[in-house]
Amino acid sequence: MSIPLHIIHQPGISQRFSPHPLIQTEAILSLDEDTLLTTDEIDFAFHVWTNFPDRIVGYPARSHYWDDAKGTWGYTSKWTNDYSIVLTGAALYHRYFNYLYTEWLSPLLLKTVDQSHNCEDILMNFLVSHVTRRPPIKVTQRKQYKESPPATGVARSPWNDPDHFIQRQTCLNTFAAVFGYMPLLRSNTRLDPVLFKDPVSNLRKKYRQIDHIHRSKLLAIKDSHESVQCSGGSTMETVVKILAAVFVATVLTPDDFDSVAAASVLAVFEEDARPENIA
């Protein structure tokens, strides 16, 4: 099947959530330039999203908490029994939220994101939870969804920068102040395919590559990185960033994933809606 690719050059980090007219379908797959997901993982996440189109559905989860000692909201990437944020570095969401993000949010919020060149994913989670009063949905137990740390001499990912984390703490409190309350809601729900991690033959499983990236794929990425650096003067980082810009504007329809139709999903909701999580 032929799918057109459109490269859109727009300045500003918030432009990844621009309601561009090229986006014709309801689902948007949002990926960072260093995200690594298998086709099975994308297929499964898309199938889950079709059942919950009002949620952000994805892999990397984070959480917020109230720090009594400091009297401020805290942001953490630690693995706990719940979460309140699913990062848009590897997630699906409804295109309508692009419109709300661009046209409805306070200019102060967008200015905070653009000036810090950070936190656009947190702000999108604030928006979706505020509008729907529901938390995002994490799929499978995947922990690592980013490319391996770069070799010496190559620019590091901002996720490895301590200042980047401090900025996100500041953003969290700024957003809560502008919204007038904390809209993020905690959830202890994780959706896995039926037979996921069960001790049965892999041939019986619908999504055989879930939570597993073959070593050969990682080596292929490494080889392509070296080959691009050696020819044409370009770098793999530049190529991947261009592809990421395309992915951000790429939309999915059920026809794009024929294998999704017969998927089995274990959808068990145990959302934490206690008053302290709503206030």
Q: For residue 186, is it within any domain?
A: yes
Beta carbons within 8 Å of 102's beta carbon, 6+ residues apart: 14, 17, 18, 19
| Total count of domains within the chain | 1
The pTM score is: 0.71
Q: For residue 178, is it within any domain?
A: yes
Q: For residue 6, is it within any domain?
A: no
Give the residue from 186, 191, 192 showing the smallest Cα distance to 83: 186
pLDDT in tens, the chain (279 residues): 677 888 888 788 888 999 989 888 899 999 998 888 888 889 999 999 999 999 999 999 999 999 999 999 999 988 888 999 999 999 999 999 999 999 999 999 999 999 999 999 999 999 999 999 999 999 987 766 665 555 555 555 555 566 888 899 999 999 999 999 999 999 999 988 877 666 666 666 766 667 554 434 444 444 444 443 333 444 444 434 434 443 443 344 333 333 333 232 333 223 333 333 333
Q: Return the CATH number at 173.
A: 3.90.550.10
Q: Which of 34, 43, 82, 121 is catalytic?
A: 121
Q: What is the pLDDT of residue 121?
A: 96
Expressed in percent and rounded to 5, the helix, strand and coil fractions of the chain are 40, 15, 45
Q: For residue 38, is it within any domain?
A: yes
Q: What is the pLDDT of residue 243?
A: 41
Q: For residue 88, is it within any domain?
A: yes
Does residue 121 carry a catalytic annotation?
yes
First-to-last alpha carbon distance for the chain, in angstroms, is 48
Q: For residue 254, is it within any domain?
A: no
Q: For residue 233, is it within any domain?
A: no
Q: What is the pLDDT of residue 91?
A: 96
Give the residue from 176, 206, 213 showing the smallest Cα distance to 192: 206
Locate tokens 């401020």: which residue? 72
Tell me which residue range forms the domain holding 59.
Answer: 15-143+156-207+263-268
Q: For residue 224, is it within any domain?
A: no
